[in-house]
Amino acid sequence: MSVFPEARNVNDAPTGLRVTVKGTLHPAEQIARGAAFELFSTVEEDGFRRVSRAGAPAPFHRFVHASEVEGVSVGGHAQPGLGVLGDGTPEDPLDAPLMVPLSRGIRWTDVHKAAQNPAYRDDPMLAGIRRTASIRRGTRMIKALSAGQIAGYLRGWLPYGFCYREYDVAHLRTPADLMLLRTDGEAGRGVPEVVYALRWRASSPDDYEIPAGAEQSGLREVPPHDRVGAPVLGTGFTPSERHLIPEFVTRDMADLPMPANAALIAYTSDGTEVVLYTYQPEQRGWLRMVGPQWRHLVTGIPEIPPDQEYLPVGDAVRSTILVGTYGEREYEAVADLPGGFRVLAMTRAARYPVENVSRRAAFGRWRGVLCQVLHTDSGWTRLRLARPDADAIARLGAQCYERGVYEVWAPAGELSDHETVTVPYPPA
């Protein structure tokens, strides 16, 4: 006897995995280790779009989050082990789902409406829901990028600013859906053929903050003419008409060290995910992963040769590093998660595991405003505001380069309290 609800319009597309959504059984493929599913249909149903890629098991498809799935089966048998359990809980312990306590008095529409209203930024119920979306060591993070931004990472940028857990946005696969996660202010200017993203694993939950509460209140008050991208609501959720998506920022808007095997990826118009480059910390560069079939996705990145297989980033751009101890000596380290941290060394034999890992970066104050020191050139220092607000932005004449990120050049001699800050990571 089937454990699923009475199914209707069951499709016969050639795939063994099937999921039930809103009482309907669909052939499906799991995405992001079961955080989302791609559903297929032989007919054009509500929410389904025609598949453009060759080899798809059915002519129409749509993407849904695991939380929308009512049941999973293979060959007609209940299958709790394909990424999600029967109640939608992910198998990966690094992906804690967002928990919303729905009841007769609290409907999903009420929660979504509150999450989109800055007046509810101090609501205890909303804060409790937001805290359930937690980051752990090894949690996969993602940041949507424009072509210009991905070029910056290929030249040496580090993760910073607004970002998301991959688990929460795994169902957003097409450029049209991913536009709401962009930080470059391009939303509303047409949907591109491809959206890029940076994906990496979190080294420590202490590297991230929820853009809500008193410490993050400044971004809520920034006027529209001084910001780029969507407004910061202060509830901890990104602005969206349909989705409930918890958002994060890197602590103090600072750069984070780039972990090993971080990936620069592309999402095409039919939801295909293509890994373009992976980060190789020992070589300090990005290794191209795509072949001729997807080379056109690299061609769209400005000033990046599409036929170059390795793109070095050098040492000068690293404003933040990891350090760790081995044998009572300190070494530069690299996060190689989920395995742990090791010495950054060219030879495999010297890649010892390290202890007491810390993140190290330079901070200072200019005109009384706390900033991260990004780099110095010819007596001038590039600064990024750690806690931007309308007053600090005006006082420094800082410019907004992406959502929530404000930078400015300052005379190096005018910097005060210039110091290297070491942030220790807690034990795993």
Residue 408: alpha-carbon gap to chain centroid? 25
Count, residues in the chain: 428
Structure tokens at 245: 């998506």
Tens digit of each residue's pLDDT (9 = 90 or more) over 246-280: 999 999 999 999 999 999 999 999 999 999 999 99
CA distance 256 to 89: 29
pLDDT at residue 404, rounded to an integer: 96
Give whole-number Cα distances, 152 to 164, 218, 253, 271, in Å: 19, 27, 17, 24
Tens digit of each residue's pLDDT (9 = 90 or more) over 75-91: 665 655 445 444 444 45
What's the mean pLDDT in 184-213?
89
CA distance 371 to 211: 18
What's the mean pLDDT in 166-194?
88
SS (H, E, C) 117-143: CHHHCCCHHHHHHHHCCCCCCCCEEEE
User: Which residues, 6 or more positions from 94, have their beta carbon under 8 angstroms from its beta carbon?
Assistant: 136, 137, 138, 139, 140, 338
Mean pLDDT of the chain: 89
Burial of 102 (0-12, 13-18, 19+ CB in 10 A): exposed
For helices 124-131 and 108-115, angle between their N-to-C axes, nearest 10 degrees: 90
**Four-CA torsion 31, 32, 36, 37, nearest 10 degrees:** 10
- Asked if 11 contacts 26 with a C-beta cutoff of 8 angstroms, the reply is yes
Is the pLDDT at 8 greater than 50? The verdict is no
Is the pLDDT at 316 greater than 70? The verdict is no
Structure tokens at 381: 């220092």
Residue 236: closest CA among 131, 375, 85, 307: 131
Q: How many CB atoms lie within 10 A of CB 77?
A: 9
Highest-confidence segment of 5-19, 211-225, 237-251 = 237-251
pLDDT at residue 93, rounded to an integer: 60
pLDDT at residue 4, rounded to an integer: 30
What is residue 147's DSSP assignment? H
Q: What is the spatial order of strands in the sheet that 24-31 belongs to?
A: 49-50, 60-65, 36-41, 24-31, 17-21, 71-74, 77-78
pLDDT at residue 152, rounded to an integer: 95
% of the chain at pLDDT higher than 70: 90
Q: For the ranges 107-121, 128-142, 206-220, which has the lowest average pLDDT?
A: 206-220
pLDDT at residue 102, rounded to an integer: 80
Angle at 369 between CA 365 and CA 371, to 5 degrees: 60
Tens digit of each residue's pLDDT (9 = 90 or more) over 41-80: 988 888 899 988 877 888 999 999 998 898 888 766 565 5
pLDDT at residue 187, rounded to an integer: 60
Largest Cα span, the chain:
77
Instruction: Give strand ranges (E) for 22-154.
Output: 24-31, 36-41, 49-50, 60-65, 71-74, 77-78, 140-145
Q: For the ranges 34-38, 147-151, 220-224, 317-321, which has the lowest average pLDDT?
A: 317-321
Structure tokens at 221: 């008050």
3-state DSSP assignment of residue 3: coil
Q: For the ranges 157-171, 266-280, 301-315, 355-369, which has the lowest average pLDDT?
A: 301-315
CA distance 317 to 297: 25
Q: For the ranges 47-51, 55-59, 168-172, 395-399, which has the lowest average pLDDT?
A: 55-59
- Asked if 33 contacts 93 with a C-beta cutoff of 8 angstroms, the reply is no
Higher pLDDT, 96 or 206: 206
Q: How far apart are the first and last CA of the chain?
A: 44
pTM here is 0.91
